[in-house]
Amino acid sequence: MTTILGINAFHGDSAACVVRDGVLVNAAEEERFRRVKHWAGFPSQAIAWCLADAGLTLAEVDHVAVNQDSSANLGRKVAYTLLKRPDLSLVLDRIRNKREREGIDAHLARAFPGQAFAGRLHAVEHHVAHLSSAFHVSPFDEAVVVSVDGFGDFASAAWGLGRGTQITVDDRVYFPHSLGMFYQALTQYLGFPNYGDEYKVMGLAPYGEPGHIEAMRKIVRLHDDGGFSLNLDYFRHAREKVEYEWEQGSPSVGTLFTPALEALLGPARKASDPLEQKHKNIARSVQAMYEEAFFHLLNALHRRYPVSAVCVAGGCGMNSVANGKITVRTPFTQVYVQSAAGDAGGAIGAAFAVWHELGGARAAPMLHAYLGPGCDAGEIAALLQDRAQEIEAAGCVRTTFADEGALCARTARAVADGKVVGWFQGRMEWGPRALGNRSILGDPRRADMKDILNLKIKRRESFRPFAPSVLREAVPQWFELDGDVPFMMQVYPIRAERRAQIPAVTHVDGSGRLQTVEASANARYHGLIAAFRDLTGVPMVLNTSFNENEPVVCRPAEALDCFLRTKMDVLVLGDEFIERIAPT
């Protein structure tokens, strides 16, 4: 038996996983345990949980795989330093970061005293880990593989072909050129300064027109071979140090763009400034430029490798709007984007890269993301008993359901009645999306449901859409495209004649970021949606993450805390149905 501990460390979304004989046993992000979004550093708590869940001590682990290799692309690094002569502070900062990120064995020794790791440590190049995380868990035996990111190991993108257990990497885009950097810099310019705010630009883009696309083409240049480069006049990172704090908390990134960008597009928006139409138009233009570059690359790759399937990873693999257009804008007919396409996914990518390097065979594909911590009925019962007075004081009534069908029917009725339902079941999802085990649910038919959710819980920007979880078999009747989207990583156009029926999950451009739900992957969630369909004729529910300006809840106590401090109407915690009767 071969056991591999996969780690994403010293990037945002630090994470860990265990792969045993080629089977992904578990996976979780550090943020869920630390309760700090995008937590970066060494994921000691995620590692501890993964080992305990797998019944292992650190001493029993055969291999540790980390998605970073400081020696990768070394010649490129030296050549860039000699030829471009960047600011000395940038060079010194990168040397310090390299030293801090080395010594994984020392980090393990501090985190697990008395459990000496006696196995082999593997450093896996960042983009090799991304490519492995996409292909080696996909259902395809052959596929084009693409990683598009910010930066990792001096590269921002890599691509090639996966066949069987092997991935051939044919080309890369190197520092300082990066589509991820382009999108992040323009996200900052638009007044969204936090790490990971790019999804806000995606949500804002449909409210605008791509009137600034020619300006964007001055920033990003496309090459005949499918590659791309940046006009570095608009970016700081190539020659000077950009503040980047990642250790022991949420990453913080300094300003990436130069005054030249403001000369091109006008003054940058401050976070406190109102959103004007010009900002919406720039957001649309940013998304359009990203798609232009992304599809330029994919079409070039299909000419080189005329296969039907493509696997996408990297931080830009989270761009669900672009992902949903792949089968429309390219000849590819099959798409796979796993649930943690960004840096967290590098943990499983590093582990699988090592497994196949050791000669291991392909295992079953990753068709669901329920790989994190779970709980049993006893843990939930003890929690509710311990906090019974607090629950009663909040005006709540508790009902225990012995029959799953009855629980789903009661919950479906609550959703159909316009209630906001916290739904906590089974094992936590791997990746940033709530996929029916750590979800807040609402009625997609209600035009006011977005406002209700923002009033009661979310308090987020009004332009951001909510997503539908839809029965897989119903997709062709409700969406213009058909396909498996189990991880909510693709946006599809909703059929024009259906949009008025589900206004709460229909974005301003008529699209929806769907999750397809099959009984084989999540029987209880499928049963709930089927019960809602039987009541209403609509085979989907509104699904958003179970949180309130924090990481998605992990444990039952966090779900109960979120329920009690917000105006959520119902909490379904395992088999327990807790309803707030007193007015909120």
Over residues 156-195, the pLDDT tens digits come to 999 999 999 999 999 999 999 999 999 999 999 999 999 9
Do 212 and 281 meet the contact criterion of CB atoms below 8 Å apart?
Answer: yes
* Residue 38 in tokens: 């995008």
Q: Is the pLDDT of residue 93 over 60?
A: no
Please report the pLDDT score of residue 402 as a whole number: 96
**Closest by Cα among 447, 435, 456, 464 to 529:** 435
**HSE-up of residue 209 (Cα within 13 Å, Cβ side):** 2
Count of beta carbons in the 10 Å neighbourhood of residue 241: 17
Kind of pairing between the strands at 155-163 and 166-174: antiparallel
* Residue 577 in tokens: 């149905």
Which parts of 446-521 fold into alpha helices (H)? 449-453, 475-478
Give the pLDDT band (50/70/90) at residue 95. Answer: very low
Give the pLDDT band (50/70/90) at residue 250. Answer: confident
Residue with tokens 């012995």: 402
Please report how the helices 404-416 and 523-536 are oriented relative to each other, as an axis angle in degrees rounded to 10. Answer: 50
Residue with tokens 């761009």: 319
Q: Is the pLDDT of residue 68 over 50?
A: yes
**Closest by Cα among 249, 341, 193, 197 to 30:** 249
Do 208 and 189 meet the contact criterion of CB atoms below 8 Å apart?
Answer: no
* Angstrom distance (rounded) from CA 223 to CA 206: 27
Question: Can you tell me the mean pLDDT for 448-455?
Answer: 90
Please report the pLDDT score of residue 582 as a whole number: 65
Query: In order of start, what are the domains of the chain with their CATH numbers?
Result: 3-126 (3.30.420.40), 132-340 (3.30.420.40), 377-580 (3.90.870.20)
Do 43 and 34 meet the contact criterion of CB atoms below 8 Å apart?
Answer: no
Q: Is the pLDDT of residue 287 over 60?
A: yes
Residue with tokens 């896996």: 124
Active-site residue, selected from the candidate residues 11, 107, 136, 507: 11
Dihedral of the alpha carbons of 559, 563, 568, 570, in degrees to the nearest 10: 70
* DSSP symbol at 494: B
* Residue 523 in tokens: 């029987």
Please report the pLDDT score of residue 20 as a whole number: 98
Please report the pLDDT score of residue 84 as a whole number: 57
Which parts of 443-555 fold into alpha helices (H)? 449-453, 475-478, 523-536
Do 4 and 18 meet the contact criterion of CB atoms below 8 Å apart?
Answer: yes
Kind of pairing between the strands at 309-313 and 142-152: parallel
Please report the pLDDT score of residue 71 as a whole number: 75
**Closest by Cα among 520, 527, 499, 529 to 511:** 499
Question: Can you tell me the mean pLDDT for 352-370?
Answer: 97
Do 300 and 225 meet the contact criterion of CB atoms below 8 Å apart?
Answer: yes
Please report the pLDDT score of residue 244 as a whole number: 78
Please tell me whether residue 157 adopts helix, strand or coil conformation.
Answer: strand
Q: What is the pLDDT of residues 379-391, one digit of tens each?
A: 999 999 999 999 9
The pTM of this model reads 0.95
* Angstrom distance (rounded) from CA 370 to CA 350: 20
**Closest by Cα among 169, 160, 174, 210 to 321:** 210
Averaged pLDDT score across all residues of the chain: 94
**Closest by Cα among 399, 441, 398, 407 to 423:** 441
* Angstrom distance (rounded) from CA 291 to CA 287: 6
Please report the pLDDT score of residue 459 as a whole number: 77
Please tell me whether residue 474 adopts helix, strand or coil conformation.
Answer: helix
The torsion angles phi and psi of 145, rounded to 5 degrees, stand at: -120, 135
Question: Can you tell me the mean pLDDT for 485-507?
Answer: 98
Please report the pLDDT score of residue 102 as a whole number: 55
Please report the pLDDT score of residue 460 as a whole number: 78
Q: What is the pLDDT of residues 452-476, one digit of tens each?
A: 998 888 777 889 999 999 999 999 9
Question: Can you tell me the mean pLDDT for 567-580?
Answer: 97
Question: Can you tell me the mean pLDDT for 250-257?
Answer: 92
Burial annotation 94-121 (CB, 10 A radius, 16+ → b, else e): beeeeeebeebeebbeeebeebebebee
| 537-563-553 Cα angle (round to 5) | 90
Give the C-alpha distances (Å, rounded to integers) separating 32 from 14, 281, 337, 343.
10, 35, 22, 15
The torsion angles phi and psi of 429, rounded to 5 degrees, stand at: -70, 145
Give the C-alpha distances (Å, rounded to integers) separating 186 from 180, 291, 297, 382.
10, 15, 21, 48
Do 352 and 19 meet the contact criterion of CB atoms below 8 Å apart?
Answer: yes
Q: Is the pLDDT of residue 73 over 80?
A: no
Do 568 and 457 meet the contact criterion of CB atoms below 8 Å apart?
Answer: yes
* Angstrom distance (rounded) from CA 459 to CA 456: 8
Q: Is the pLDDT of residue 240 over 80?
A: yes
* Angstrom distance (rounded) from CA 564 to CA 340: 29
Q: Is the pLDDT of residue 94 over 90?
A: no
Q: Is the pLDDT of residue 80 over 80?
A: no
Q: Which region holds residue 314: left if phi is over 0, alpha if psi is between -120 and 50, else beta?
A: left
Q: Is the pLDDT of residue 377 over 70?
A: yes
**Closest by Cα among 523, 497, 519, 521 to 510:** 497
11 catalytically annotated: yes
Higher local confidence (pLDDT), 77 or 98: 77
DSSP E strands, 377-429: 396-400, 421-424
**HSE-up of residue 444 (Cα within 13 Å, Cβ side):** 31
* DSSP symbol at 455: I
Question: Can you tell me the mean pLDDT for 34-44?
Answer: 95
Please report the pLDDT score of residue 583 as a whole number: 62
Kind of pairing between the strands at 576-580 and 396-400: antiparallel
* CB within 8 Å of 114: residues ≥ 6 apart: none
Q: What is the pLDDT of residues 120-170, one digit of tens each?
A: 999 999 999 999 999 999 999 999 999 999 999 999 999 999 999 999 999
CA 422 distance to own-chain centroid: 21
* CB within 8 Å of 75: residues ≥ 6 apart: none
The torsion angles phi and psi of 466, rounded to 5 degrees, stand at: -105, 155
* Angstrom distance (rounded) from CA 311 to CA 326: 11
Question: Can you tell me the mean pLDDT for 435-462?
Answer: 91
Q: What is the pLDDT of residues 290-304, one digit of tens each?
A: 999 999 999 999 999
Instruction: Kindly state the percentage of the chain with pLDDT values over 90.
Output: 88
